[in-house]
Amino acid sequence: MNRLTGESLLDFYDIEQQIKARDREIDHPFSKDLQITAIRGARNYAGDKLIRVAPPHKVLDPKNGPLIAVRLHIVSRKTLGGLQTDLSARVLNDSGEVIKGLYAAGEASGFGGGGLHGYRALEGTFLGGCLFSGRTAGRAMALEAEGKE
């Protein structure tokens, strides 16, 4: 991977140490390793155990090899932030007052369209909120243009 990037970003011995430490936790029935705990938790559900979540296994066990390195290109999928808006998609300033003439919709106004489904929104519910906040903003802008806001 270092050859691919032309930079020494990865230290072999550091990575080996981390993986060995992680593999040791597989033998630990009360491990607090978050990933292993999550795998064990998911496998308590029959559906996940049967088709989705492989049994926890050691990365460095030769029978689980060969090791494959994957170069990731990270994209930003959610903002988890955005401009604060009111229910008419009008942007608010730091004091919570409306900034006249400024509207925001979709991810620009926060998680899944102004946080329409709350802070713990489920995956797959974002596009609807983005479209709806766009509609809200459009209607509010039309009313403002007609002087009926």
Ligand X SMILES: Cc1cc2nc3c(=O)[nH]c(=O)nc-3n(C[C@H](O)[C@H](O)[C@H](O)COP(=O)(O)OP(=O)(O)OC[C@H]3O[C@@H](n4cnc5c(N)ncnc54)[C@H](O)[C@@H]3O)c2cc1C
Task: Name, in order, each residue with C-beta under 8 angstroms of 88's C-beta and a sequence gap of 6 or more.
Answer: 136, 137, 140, 149
Task: Name, in order, each residue with C-beta under 8 angstroms of 54's C-beta and a sequence gap of 6 or more.
Answer: 39
Q: Does 112 help bind ligand X (rule: CB under 6 A)?
A: yes
Output 77 or 100, the one with its CB closest to ligand X: 77
Q: Does 124 help bind ligand X (rule: CB under 6 A)?
A: yes
Q: Does 143 help bind ligand X (rule: CB under 6 A)?
A: no
Report the Cα 68 to chain-centroid distance in Å: 24
**Which positions from 64 through 103 interact with ligand X, judged by CB under 6 A?**
77
| Binding region for ligand X (CB under 6 A) out of 2-10, 15-23, 28-36, 119-127 | 119-127
Compute the Cα dihedral for 138, 140, 144, 147 and give only its sign: positive
Q: How far is Cα 87 from Cα 84, in angstroms, rounded to an integer?
A: 10
Least spacing, CB of residue 124 vs ligand X, in Å? 4
Tokens for 18? 């981390």
Pick from 130, 136, 137, 140: which binds ligand X (CB under 6 A)?
A: 130
Q: Does 106 help bind ligand X (rule: CB under 6 A)?
A: yes
Q: Does 107 help bind ligand X (rule: CB under 6 A)?
A: yes
Residues that bind ligand X (CB under 6 A): 77, 106-108, 112, 124-127, 130
